[in-house]
């Protein structure tokens, strides 16, 4: 296994983390909390898809990196699932929403095409690998953003939640190229491979936007401390962006045309040195070493 892409068996104590872990900022808190709704099921799905693809990998170095990636993603899934337990303990039950997320990954994007669609097994696997690569484009951008988001420090965000997000973000930057390389290796050659990569992003980008807005609205609607007094709005979202509490839409949107370039490679994304430096000082990562 690559010495650089190695699972870190971290753990976090949520006993003192408040529901609104960015003080006085429920909108920013819940926009980021959508990660906890999507990632447990999503990253379990990453691991399953990559496990299906392992027999196709002929490059020993890539195989080692893929196994490291799978270990990291499995750990991410577990730790974000613990946050869902923490939210439930504070009377914010997310099960109604996560049932839809489970359906998306387990049925619509499962091992067999939905509705019995006549898609060859190898082609269906390649498409799902393309979707993983597209999602990882955004997780690398988000990971790099949270590592540099000093607005969260100025807002006195909960230190344990910040460590979770920055540990996870640093690992996303660390393994930013693995899903892309896996797809390129297993996705065939030439124009069909490129077209499938574009199709993966064309499906992923609008689906992620929809799930994020829907997830934030769900969290705010069911937040027991808000009791229906505040709903999600783009105005409040943009206000949080200006405070440095959320990434700008243009920052996320710009990741798409970069990905569409034929010459693109994710090693161009983010700062690996910043990610590695954070992993050296992360309280959770240090405790796990």
Q: What is the pLDDT of residues 108-126, one digit of tens each?
A: 999 999 988 999 999 999 9
Percent of the chain at pLDDT above 90? Answer: 96
For residue 68, the model assigns a pLDDT of: 97
Residue 3: pLDDT above 90?
no
Which residues lie closer than 8 Å to 142 by C-beta, 6 or more apart? 169, 172, 247, 252
* Model confidence pLDDT, tens digit, residues 228-281: 889 999 999 999 999 999 999 999 999 999 999 999 999 989 999 999 999 999
Contact between 223 and 25 (Cβ < 8 Å) = no
What pLDDT does 45 receive?
98
pLDDT band at 130 (very low <50, low <70, confident <90, very high): very high
The pLDDT score that the predictor gives to residue 115 is 87
pLDDT at position 1: 36
Q: Which of 43, 42, 65 is nearest to 54 (CA)?
A: 65
Residues 6+ apart with CB under 8 A from 191: none
Picking from 84, 56, 96, 276, the residue whose alpha carbon sits closest to that of residue 169 is: 276
pTM of structure: 0.95
Q: Are 217 and 231 in contact (CB under 8 A)?
A: yes
What's the confidence (pLDDT) of residue 228? 87
The pLDDT of residue 203 is above 90: yes
Arithmetic mean of pLDDT over the chain = 96
d(CA 233, CA 120): 42
- The per-residue pLDDT for 289 is 82
Nearest CA among 192, 175, 170, 223 for reference residue 33 = 223
Distance CA 22, CA 84 (A): 17
Give, in degrees to the nearest 5, the angle at Cα 238 between 235 and 242.
140
Pick from 186, 181, 188, 197: nearest CA to 65: 181
pLDDT of 2 above 50: no
Give the residue from 268, 137, 262, 269 showing the smallest Cα distance to 194.
262
Residue 15 pLDDT exceeds 70: yes
Residues whose CB is less than 8 angstroms from the CB of residue 187 and which lie 6 or more positions away in sequence, other chains included:
126, 129, 130, 193, 196, 197
pLDDT digits (tens, 9 = 90+) for 96-108: 999 999 999 999 9
- Burial letters for 212-236: b for 16+ Cβ neighbours within 10 Å, e otherwise? beebbbbbbebbeebeeeeebeeeb
């Amino acid at each position: 296994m690559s010495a650089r892409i190695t699972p870190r068996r971290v753990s976090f104590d949520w006993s003192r983390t408040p529901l609104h872990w960015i003080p006085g900022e429920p909108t920013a808190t819940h926009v980021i909390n959508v990660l906890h709704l999507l990632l447990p099921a999503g990253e379990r799905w990453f691991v399953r898809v990559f496990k299906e693809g392992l027999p196709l990998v002929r490059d020993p170095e890539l195989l080692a990196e893929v196994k490291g990636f799978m270990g990291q993603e499995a750990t991410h899934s577990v730790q974000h699932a613990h946050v869902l337990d923490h939210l439930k303990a504070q009377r914010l039950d997310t099960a109604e929403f996560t049932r839809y997320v489970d359906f998306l990954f387990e049925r619509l994007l499962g091992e067999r095409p939905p509705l019995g669609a006549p898609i060859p097994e190898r082609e269906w696997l390649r498409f799902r690998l393309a979707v993983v690569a597209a999602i990882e484009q955004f997780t690398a951008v988000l990971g790099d953003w949270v590592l540099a988001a000093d607005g969260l420090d100025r807002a006195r965000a909960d230190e344990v939640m910040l460590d979770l997000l920055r540990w996870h973000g640093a690992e996303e930057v660390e393994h930013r190229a693995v899903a892309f390389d896996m797809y390129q290796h297993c996705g065939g050659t030439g124009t069909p491979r490129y077209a499938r990569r574009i199709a993966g992003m064309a499906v992923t980008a609008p689906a992620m936007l929809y799930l994020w807005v829907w997830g934030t609205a769900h969290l705010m609607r069911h937040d027991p401390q808000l009791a229906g007094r505040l709903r999600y709005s783009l105005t409040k979202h943009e206000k949080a962006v200006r405070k440095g509490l959320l990434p700008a839409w243009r920052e996320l949107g710009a990741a798409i045309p970069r990905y569409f370039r034929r010459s693109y490679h994710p090693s161009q994304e983010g700062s690996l040195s910043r990610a590695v430096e954070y992993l050296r000082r992360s309280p959770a990562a240090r405790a796990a070493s």
